[in-house]
Chain A
Amino acid sequence: MTYDASREANGVRIFVDGRPWKMNVLLDELNQSFNSDEPLAIGGGGPGPPFKGLIDDLRIYNTDLDPNDLSLLATSDSIDAIVALPAQERTARQAAKLRAYFLDSHAPQHIRDARRRMLTLRKQKADFEDGFPTTMVMEEMAAPRETFVLVRGQYDKPGDRVGADVPGSLHPLPSGAARDRLALARWLVDPANPLVARVTVNRLWQSFFGTGLVKTVDDFGAQGDAPSHPQLLDWLAGQFVAQGWDVKGLVRLIVTSATYRQSSKVLRTALERDPDNRLLARGPRLRLPAEVIRDQSLAASGLLVEQVGGPSIHPYQPPGLWKELTGGGDVAQDHGANLYRRSLYTFWKRTIPPPSMMTFDAAGREACSVRAARTNTPLQALALLNEITFVEAARVLAGRVMADCAGTPSERISLAFRLVAARRPSENELRVLLGGFERQLALFREKPAAAEKLLAVGESPVDTRFDPQELAAYATVCSLILNLDEVVTKE
């Protein structure tokens, strides 16, 4: 039996005496990994009766054997026995086995080299082809499956039979078009259909301004809100289509606009007349998304690992988080570089999502959601102040600042502020931060052990280059800066 690891029934073949055996596929559901702790059962497993008989000469190869290999295996005669036969009496298989043996072991060196090279190249080619990323492709069934309205959603209560089509309230599919996915895709991006471009543009607008031009980003129907700036929405949608649905181009168009680049200072009259800034008289001012808040702390401290792609990672996680809900084991937290990857790569268990992400309003992934909720809660404050990731980022940032700047505390604090807030602190701000630094330093001078404890938070190495009490005092200042409203807010 051979298996090519394709997870498809037709990837399994059975050979009898080296010849492929005809098989009927009853189930094509090899969707589980073979990477299992379960024992490999031969002649057993499954609901049917186990194999009765004798098994002899079982060999397991870690490669998908080709028909030539199998033919050799199926020829049980020894080389000596084949050689002893007169050439004309050998079967084709015996001859093939002898030939393979000769090429492998006794042929002139240049032929053996060439053969080995051929085998190596063949393997390289196969490995190369196996390395291609795969993608799922939908294929229409030859005869579409019959579909019914399920009465009250019950799968065993089919009601009216229905067919595929676009919503009747919108423009129809071209007459004669097949009712399939390709037709739907063409219909969606048909220049005569403005809806998809408007919806897309509106969602991008929401991500920059906090509110869509149509506030109900998930509802452009009769129940949705009317756009605040219908002509702008239409123009942006038109540009988007005209530029070939270029999302980056559209983003550039929005962020380089005079509207987006306005100051987000809130004037009293503007707040009274337009509290939600629907008229766009000021720039947006929005709390950053959950992922960005974590990523920017890592980036400012220099901890961020910018590796792109790869399997999901498990950053710090409160002990027992999975166990208390499942009774089973906890996931093992990663160590080293994986603790500092972008939040995008955080492993997401939908039934028990990462707590800090949820605290900062990340989408739960249990249901589709396009609205962007932004709340402002004490749990967010607790996470930013105390969560291991942010405390570690603060102490590593402190080390970075002390290493990069040999100057006065003011200069070092200014640098930390600039690294996080991307501007210099005002005199007032610097005075507050410096006063805080001095008071924290005094506290740590009284309790040197406390400084050591704070500097050991997180798994990155303890920074031994500097006076620990001073470093700890800088760490609290850095933590303060990471907690500033301005820092967790885009303005």
Chain B
Amino acid sequence: MQARPQDSWSVTRRQFFSRSGSVLGLAAMATLLGEGSRSHAETRSGDGPTALPHFPPRARRVIYLFQSGAPSQLDLFDDKPKLVDFQGTQLPDSVRMGQRLTGMTSRQASFPIAASRYKFAQHGRSGAWLSELLPHTARVADELCFVKSMHTEAINHDPAVTFFQTGAQLAGRPSIGSWLSYGLGSENSDLPAFVVMISQGSGNPVDQPLYDRLWGSGFLPSKYQGVKFRAVGDPVLNLSNPPGLDAQARRQMLDDLGALNQLKLEEFGDPEIATRIAQYELAYRMQTSVPELTNVADEPASTFEMYGPESRTPGTFAANCLLARRLCERGVRFVQLFHRGWDQHLHLPKQIAGQASDTDQPSAALVADLRQRGLLDDTLVVWGGEFGRTVYCQGHLTAEDYGRDHHPRCFTVWLAGGGIKSGFSFGQTDDHSYNIVRDPVHVHDLQATILHCLGIDHTRLTFKLQGRHHRLTDVHGKVVTPILG
């Protein structure tokens, strides 16, 4: 375990004036994007986390494939063959147990059960049950760990996604990637520690929006916020020089800027000036490193075959999966993809096939690709949405058509890679996939487990605010040890 870069940085600051050598030496030490830029006051305040990681990590980085809108566990992962016999019958009160429903279905006159119209089969040595909608995922089933007993407290998208991202339903807390960026920093001096990419699925076209807060830093300093890589224009905002200003002109200007800031530093002695000089150098390097990263022209044709045809189209989930692998190779700590379109309230069969197809091949390819490159052992991959979907039908139930409302009581996510047991299923739901009957995993438990894989005790990664040590898992969360490899 190596010392954390920020520790050496604060020593450097303390010794600032006794150091021989130029500011460039200092700048070189200060280049870690997530770490070296810790501001003056902050370094001294003792607000930073101490002694991380807390124990040897199993994963060094995370790729979180967030399925926004809430995929139906009933049609993808949680096979309930008995439901065919109950098709069209009313959801029993013994199953619903007085649960409050959303305003979208609470006024329905009836709650007929809708069995999945998709066939399930077992796959791999592990015998994981998967629906026919996920043929590619089925091929890597032995790498995956299915948690079928996820549950959450929120019943609508905004609070539910915010809950997964920040551990709280209300806005204002740091996102999980920000916590990791704050706690662990980056392994790459030229790239952000936390990168976010967005894609629109082919399922529900009027799906719920996403929000900057989902990768925001909350009350942590803003430099820990996720950097959104965009498919249109510059991958990172303002990355390109303005029209008419080429790299040579920019370099000259930056040299002069550095010289003038250096004069100021000599006159004023404020270490913040040294940091600013370093940040401009880092910005300059990002202008090379980011396009190099996002330009996939150097990938062989076999890569695109693996991730599927859409991987050649920027902004698709497939293209983002490929970029996630490239970011991962370059040591970016936390890569999060958001794929919209999973909100199948009505006409689920019409929507879910395309939606599942968007993610199936690229997600499976990502796992296989990480495996073949030897990266899966220390990369944690997570795939899942913000809640599940109801067994009862929303809207009109026919032989061909059904819809499903929000269901926070049970749903499935899968994990793979660093620190997680492969070829494993955990937790069990009842015959209606309505309640959990064994091994419930709360959102805070999943968060605690992700941190655990990265060598972090979730109760000790804290930030003091308003008299309280806040943490991602609030005052809850238990590491789900049975799924650890």
Instruction: List residues of B (217-269) whose CB comes within 8 Å of A's CBs.
Output: 218-219, 221-223, 225, 227, 230-233, 236-246, 248-250, 252-253, 256-257, 259-261, 263-265, 267-269
Select A440's contact among B33, B213, B253, beta carbons within 8 Å: B253
Select B245's contact among A352, A376, A476, beta carbons within 8 Å: A476
| Residue A146 CB within 8 A of the other chain | no
- Chain B residues near A428 (CB-CB < 8 A): 263
Q: Is the CB of A275 within 8 A of B44?
A: yes
Task: Give Cα A318–Cα B216 distance, bound, in whole angstroms.
Answer: 19
Task: Give Cα A484–Cα B330 distance, bound, in whole angstroms.
Answer: 31
Task: Give Cα A376–Cα B260 distance, bound, in whole angstroms.
Answer: 18
Instruction: List residues of A (412-470) whose CB comes within 8 Å of B's CBs.
Output: 426, 428-429, 432-433, 435-436, 439-440, 443, 447, 449-457
> Closest CB-CB distance, B233 to chain A, in whole Å?
6
Q: Is the CB of A325 within 8 A of B209?
A: yes
Select A454's contact among B227, B232, B242, B269, beta carbons within 8 Å: B242
Task: Give Cα A147–Cα B299 distance, bound, in whole angstroms.
Answer: 62
- Chain A residues near B340 (CB-CB < 8 A): 327
A318-B233, A319-B233, A369-B219 are contacts. A378–B243 as well, Cβ < 8 Å? Answer: no
Task: Give Cα A440–Cα B225 distance, bound, in whole angstroms.
Answer: 35
| Residue A324 CB within 8 A of the other chain | yes
| Residue B484 CB within 8 A of the other chain | no
| Residue A264 CB within 8 A of the other chain | yes
Instruction: List residues of A (249-297) whose CB comes within 8 Å of B's CBs.
Output: 264-268, 271-272, 275-276, 285, 287
Select A376's contact among B225, B242, B265, B275, beta carbons within 8 Å: B275
> Closest CB-CB distance, A393 to chain B, in whole Å?
12
> Closest CB-CB distance, A11 to chain B, in whole Å?
28
| Residue A64 CB within 8 A of the other chain | no
Q: Is the CB of B100 within 8 A of A266?
A: no
Q: Is the CB of A381 within 8 A of B280?
A: yes
Which chain B residue lies CB-closest to A366? B171
| Residue B276 CB within 8 A of the other chain | yes
A435-B256, A436-B256, A440-B249 are contacts. A377–B37 as well, Cβ < 8 Å? Answer: yes
Q: Is the CB of B286 within 8 A of A382?
A: yes
Q: Is the CB of A485 within 8 A of B276?
A: yes
A271-B16, A374-B39, A375-B223 are contacts. A367–B172 as well, Cβ < 8 Å? Answer: yes
Select B279's contact among A381, A449, A479, beta carbons within 8 Å: A381
| Residue B206 CB within 8 A of the other chain | yes
Q: Is the CB of B468 within 8 A of A223?
A: yes
Query: Could you list 17 A-B pairs, sorted by A, with CB under 8 Å?
Result: A219-B466, A264-B268, A265-B269, A275-B13, A275-B40, A318-B230, A351-B212, A371-B465, A376-B272, A376-B276, A378-B286, A381-B283, A383-B238, A426-B263, A432-B256, A480-B256, A485-B276
A307-320 interface mask toward B, CB cutoff 8 Å, 1 = contact, 0 = none? Answer: 00000000000111
Further pairs besides A379-B227, A387-B238: 10, Cβ < 8 Å: A215-B45, A320-B232, A320-B233, A324-B200, A327-B340, A358-B222, A374-B39, A377-B37, A476-B253, A479-B253
Task: Give Cα A485–Cα B274 distance, bound, in whole angstroms.
Answer: 10
A285-B272, A373-B221 are contacts. A219–B467 as well, Cβ < 8 Å? Answer: yes
| Residue A386 CB within 8 A of the other chain | yes
A343-376 interface mask toward B, CB cutoff 8 Å, 1 = contact, 0 = none? Answer: 0000000011101101101001011010101111
Q: Is the CB of A483 within 8 A of B268?
A: no
Which chain A residue lies CB-closest to B469? A223
Task: Give Cα A460–Cα B37 distance, bound, in whole angstroms.
Answer: 35
Task: Give Cα A224–Cα B467 distance, bound, in whole angstroms.
Answer: 6
A156-B100, A268-B17, A374-B41 are contacts. A385–B241 as well, Cβ < 8 Å? Answer: yes
- Chain A residues near B252 (CB-CB < 8 A): 436, 439-440, 443
Q: Is the CB of B223 within 8 A of A451?
A: no
Which chain B residue lies CB-closest to A367? B172
| Residue B479 CB within 8 A of the other chain | no
- Chain A residues near B205 (CB-CB < 8 A): 327
Q: Is the CB of A223 within 8 A of B467?
A: yes
Q: Is the CB of B37 within 8 A of A327?
A: no
- Chain B residues near A287 (CB-CB < 8 A): 272
Q: Is the CB of B236 within 8 A of A382?
A: yes
| Residue A234 CB within 8 A of the other chain | no
| Residue A221 CB within 8 A of the other chain | yes
| Residue B472 CB within 8 A of the other chain | no
Task: Give Cα A486–Cα B257 distance, bound, in whole angstroms.
Answer: 11
> Closest CB-CB distance, A462 to chain B, in whole Å?
12
Task: Give Cα A371–Cα B277 distance, bound, in whole angstroms.
Answer: 26
Interface residue tally on B, bucketed by range: 35 or more
Q: Is the CB of B257 within 8 A of A480?
A: yes
> Closest CB-CB distance, B340 to chain A, in whole Å?
7
Which chain B residue lies CB-closest to A360? B222
Select A432's contact among B221, B244, B260, B277, beta carbons within 8 Å: B260
Most chain-A CB neighbours within 10 Å: which of B44, B249, B264, B340?
B249
| Residue B145 CB within 8 A of the other chain | no
Q: Is the CB of A386 within 8 A of B242?
A: yes
Most chain-B CB neighbours within 10 Å: which of A380, A440, A456?
A380
A184-201 interface mask toward B, CB cutoff 8 Å, 1 = contact, 0 = none? Answer: 000000000000000000
Task: Give Cα A323–Cα B261 distance, bound, in whole angstroms.
Answer: 39
A206-218 interface mask toward B, CB cutoff 8 Å, 1 = contact, 0 = none? Answer: 0000110001101
Which chain A residue lies CB-closest to B205? A327
Select A443's contact among B44, B249, B270, beta carbons within 8 Å: B249
Q: Is the CB of B211 within 8 A of A327?
A: no
Which chain B residue lies CB-closest to A267? B269
Q: Is the CB of A385 within 8 A of B283?
A: yes
| Residue A391 CB within 8 A of the other chain | yes
B285-296 interface mask toward A, CB cutoff 8 Å, 1 = contact, 0 = none? Answer: 011000000000
Select B237's contact among A351, A352, A382, A455, beta carbons within 8 Å: A382
| Residue A303 CB within 8 A of the other chain | no
- B interface, CB within 8 angstroms of A: 13-14, 16-17, 33, 37, 39-41, 44-45, 100, 170-172, 198, 200, 205-207, 209-213, 216, 218-219, 221-223, 225, 227, 230-233, 236-246, 248-250, 252-253, 256-257, 259-261, 263-265, 267-273, 275-277, 279-280, 282-283, 286-287, 315, 340, 465-468
Task: Give Cα A366–Cα B207 distance, bound, in whole angstroms.
Answer: 22
| Residue A326 CB within 8 A of the other chain | yes
- Chain A residues near B280 (CB-CB < 8 A): 378, 381, 483
Q: Is the CB of B212 within 8 A of A210?
A: no
Which chain A residue lies CB-closest to B197? A324
- Chain B residues near A318 (CB-CB < 8 A): 230, 233, 237
Q: Is the CB of A218 within 8 A of B286?
A: no
User: 3 nearest interchain CB pairs?
Assistant: A367-B172, A223-B467, A454-B244
| Residue A174 CB within 8 A of the other chain | no
Q: Is the CB of A320 within 8 A of B230?
A: yes
Task: Give Cα A11–Cα B188 distance, bound, in whole angstroms.
Answer: 63
Select B212's contact among A327, A352, A382, beta carbons within 8 Å: A352
Most chain-B CB neighbours within 10 Å: which of A267, A272, A359, A378?
A378
Select B238's contact among A275, A382, A457, A472, beta carbons within 8 Å: A382
A168-189 interface mask toward B, CB cutoff 8 Å, 1 = contact, 0 = none? Answer: 0000000000000000000000
- Chain B residues near A325 (CB-CB < 8 A): 198, 209-212
> Closest CB-CB distance, B462 to chain A, in whole Å?
13
| Residue A104 CB within 8 A of the other chain | no
Most chain-B CB neighbours within 10 Å: which of A222, A356, A361?
A361
- Chain A residues near B267 (CB-CB < 8 A): 265
> Closest CB-CB distance, A304 to chain B, in whole Å?
20
> Closest CB-CB distance, A278 to chain B, in whole Å?
9
- Chain B residues near A453 (CB-CB < 8 A): 243-244
- Chain A residues near B17 (CB-CB < 8 A): 268, 271-272
> Closest CB-CB distance, B395 to chain A, in whole Å?
18
Q: Is the CB of B466 within 8 A of A485?
A: no
- Chain A residues near B33 (CB-CB < 8 A): 377-378
> Closest CB-CB distance, B97 to chain A, in whole Å?
15
- Chain A residues near B253 (CB-CB < 8 A): 436, 440, 476, 479-480
Which chain A residue lies CB-closest to B34? A377
- Chain A residues near B231 (CB-CB < 8 A): 324
> Closest CB-CB distance, B6 to chain A, in whole Å?
14
